[in-house]
Chain A
Amino acid sequence: MRNSEKKVVIKLSIIIIITVLAMTIFSIPLFGVRLVSILIPGRGIWKVTGEVPIRERLEIPELNDEVTIIRDEWGIPHIYASNDLDLFFAQGYVHAQDRFFQMDMLRRLVRGRISEILGSDAISTDKFNLAMGMEYWAIRTDEILREMQANGTIDFLPTIDRYVDGINYYLETHKQDKPLEYYILGFEPTEWTSIDSLCLVQEMARQMSWNYDDLYRLTSLEALGFNNYIQLFNAILPYQIPICPNYGVYDETPKISGKGYEINPLLVRTVLDFLENVKESDFEKKRMESQNNVGSNNWVVNGVKSNTGKPILANDMHLAWMTPGIWYEQHLISTETNINSYGFSIPGMPLIAVGHNQYVGWGFTNTGYDVLDWYYYNIINETHYIYNNTETEFKTRNYNINVRDSPTKQFTVRETVHGPVISDFRNLDLPSSYGDIVLAPQWTANDIFLNFLAGYGFNRAKNRTEFNEASQYWDTLSQNIVYADIDGNIAIRPTGKVPIRDDSRIPLGHLGNGTIPYNGSNGEGEWIGYIPFEDLPNTINPTQNYLASANQIIAGPNWNYSKYFLQNEYSDGYRARRINNLLSNAPNGTLSVEKMKEYQFDVNSTPAQVFIPFLIDVIKNQYGLTPPPKIDNVLTILEGWKYKMDKDLEAPTIYHKWRDYFMIRTFNDEFENYGIEQKPRLVVLEYLMKEKEKSHWFDNVNTLSQIETRNEIMLLALNDTIYWLEDFYGSSNPSTWKWGKIHKYYFPHITELNAFSKGPYSGDGEEYTLNPSWVNIDFGVSFAQGGASGRMILDFSNLNNSVSVIASGERGFPNSKHYSDQLEQLFLQGKYHIQYFGYTAINFPKSAIESTINFIPNGGA
Chain B
Amino acid sequence: MKEKINFSISILVSIGVSFILNFSHVWQMIIIAGFIAGIFNNSMKRGALSGAAGVGIFWMIFMFYGIITKNSYPLLDQIGTLFIGAGYGWLIFLLILLIGILFGALGGATSSGAMMLIKPRLKRYLDRISISEENSEVD
Q: Which residues of A contact B (CB under 8 A)?
A: 5, 8-9, 11-12, 15-16, 18-19, 22-23, 26-27, 30-31, 33, 35-43, 45-46, 48-51, 180, 184, 753-756, 814-817
Contacts and interface: CB of A to CB of B under 8 A. Distances in A.
B27 A50 contact: no
A815 B75 contact: yes
Given A8-B113, A39-B92, A814-B74, A46 B82 contact: no
Interface stretch (B3-11, B98-106, B126-134): B98-106
A15 B70 contact: no
23 contacts: A11-B44, A12-B114, A19-B110, A23-B31, A36-B99, A38-B79, A40-B30, A40-B99, A41-B63, A42-B22, A42-B23, A42-B62, A45-B72, A45-B75, A48-B72, A49-B70, A50-B72, A755-B78, A755-B81, A814-B74, A815-B75, A816-B71, A817-B71
Name which of A31, A43, A755, A817 has the most chain B CB atoms within 10 A of its CB. Answer: A755
| Interface magnitude class on chain B | 35 or more
B28 interface: yes
Contacts of A35: 79, 83
Interface in B28-84: 28, 30-31, 44, 58-59, 62-63, 66, 70-83
Given A11-B44, A12-B114, A815-B70, A22 B79 contact: no
Name which of A12, A31, A43 has the most chain B CB atoms within 10 A of its CB. Answer: A12
Given A43-B27, A45-B79, A12 B96 contact: no
Nearest to A30: B83
A46 B71 contact: no
Contacts of B72: 45-46, 48, 50, 815
Nearest to B80: A755
Nearest to A9: B117
Given A19-B106, A23-B28, A40-B96, A45 B113 contact: no
A12 to B, nearest CB: 4
A12 B63 CA distance: 31
B106 to A, nearest CB: 5
Nearest to B116: A8
A22 B23 CA distance: 22
A22 B102 contact: yes
Name which of B31, B58, B71, B81 has the most chain A CB atoms within 10 A of its CB. Answer: B71
B71 A50 contact: yes
A184 B31 CA distance: 24
Nearest to A37: B27
Contacts of A753: 82
B59 A41 contact: yes
A5 B74 contact: no
Name which of A33, A756, A815 has the most chain B CB atoms within 10 A of its CB. Answer: A815
A625 to B, nearest CB: 51
Interface string B102-127: 11001101100110110010000000
A42 B33 CA distance: 14
A759 B59 CA distance: 33
B47 to A, nearest CB: 10
A41 B96 contact: yes
Given A9-B117, A15-B113, A815-B75, A41 B70 contact: no
Given A15-B109, A22-B106, A755-B81, A41 B71 contact: no
Contacts of A23: 28, 31
Contacts of A815: 70-75
A340 B63 CA distance: 43
Contacts, number: 111
Contact of A16 (B96, B102, B110): B110
B88 to A, nearest CB: 10
A573 B61 CA distance: 60
Contact of B75 (A9, A12, A18, A48): A48
Given A35-B83, A51-B71, A180-B75, 12 more contacts: A8-B44, A8-B113, A12-B110, A39-B92, A40-B27, A40-B100, A46-B66, A50-B71, A50-B74, A184-B82, A815-B71, A817-B71
Given A22-B102, A41-B62, A46-B70, A814 B75 contact: yes
Contacts of B96: 39-41
A36 B71 contact: no
A9 B121 CA distance: 14
A286 B139 CA distance: 95
A31 B83 contact: yes
A605 B70 CA distance: 45
B66 A41 contact: yes
Given A46-B66, A46-B70, A754 B44 contact: no
A7 to B, nearest CB: 10
B71 A754 contact: no
A82 B56 CA distance: 52
B79 A19 contact: no
A12 B108 CA distance: 11
Contacts of A30: 83
Contacts of A755: 77-82
Contacts of B76: 45
A35 B21 CA distance: 19
**Top 4 closest pairs, chain A to chain B, by CB:** A755-B81, A42-B22, A50-B71, A755-B78
Contacts of A8: 44, 113, 116-117
Contacts of B77: 755
Nearest to B18: A41
B117 to A, nearest CB: 6
Contacts of B83: 30-31, 35
A22 B28 CA distance: 10
A754 B83 CA distance: 11
A36 B44 contact: no
A49 B75 CA distance: 10
A11 B72 CA distance: 39
A178 B135 CA distance: 68
Nearest to B103: A22
Nearest to B105: A15
Nearest to A184: B82
Contacts of A18: 106
A15 B58 CA distance: 23
Contacts of A48: 70, 72, 75
Contacts of B106: 15, 18-19, 22
Nearest to A46: B66
Contact of A50 (B22, B70, B100): B70
A35 B27 CA distance: 12
Contacts of B102: 22
A19 B95 CA distance: 17
A30 B83 CA distance: 9
A37 B30 CA distance: 12
A47 B59 CA distance: 14
Contacts of B44: 8, 11, 15
Given A15-B109, A40-B96, A46 B79 contact: no
B26 to A, nearest CB: 9
Nearest to A34: B27
A816 B75 CA distance: 10
Nearest to A18: B106
Contact of B110 (A15, A26, A33, A51): A15
B114 to A, nearest CB: 7
A12 B117 contact: yes
B102 to A, nearest CB: 6
